[in-house]
Amino acid sequence: MAWRSHGTSNETLVQNLAKNNLIKSDRVKDAMLKVDRAHYAPASPYEDCPQPIGHRATISAPHMHASACESLLDYLQPGSKVLDIGSGSGYLTAVLANLVAPNGSVIGIDHIQPLVDMGKQNMQKSEEGRRMLDSGAG
């Protein structure tokens, strides 16, 4: 059903993921609604497929991010601490930070410094992302 989940905006993408039962919980839906993929995927951000982000890396398809969050949801409680290894564009790091808020923390790491820099720049594109960086939650 992932191929049917494309949207024309972040909101329609997330709604379609939920409609196709790829997002099952309101917590994951709300966390993904707060993070606009357009700030993290350089082209076609609302297509439900992986997108190249440079340096031979991709941002995973939205249904994969939804699946990861749904699978880990019992562990992603407010106040939890999360390590996002291979954080790339920073998208999943930001979604995870929403899931462990308030008082939780997420650290995103990547072995490619330009992707670390990109992730920081991407988070700066939204007020929510700037707050996460300022508080050390992203």
Model pLDDT, residue 1 = 55
Residue by residue, what is the 3-state secondary structure of the chain?
Answer: CHHHCCCCCHHHHHHHHHHCCCCCCHHHHHHHHCCCHHHCCCCCCCCCCCEEEECCEEECCHHHHHHHHHHHHHHCCCCCEEEEECCCCCHHHHHHHHHHCCCCEEEEECCCHHHHHHHHHHHCCCHHHHHHHHHCCC
Q: Determine the structural domain holding residue 91 and report its residue range.
A: 2-135
| Domain containing residue 67: CATH number | 3.40.50.150
Reply yes or no on whether the pLDDT at 63 is more than 60: yes
- Residues with active-site annotation: 60
The domain total for the chain is: 1
Which band of pLDDT confidence, cut at 50, 70 and 90, is reported for residue 125? confident
Model pLDDT, residue 89 = 93
Reply yes or no on whether the pLDDT at 90 is more than 80: yes
pTM above 0.85, yes or no: yes
Model pLDDT, residue 135 = 47
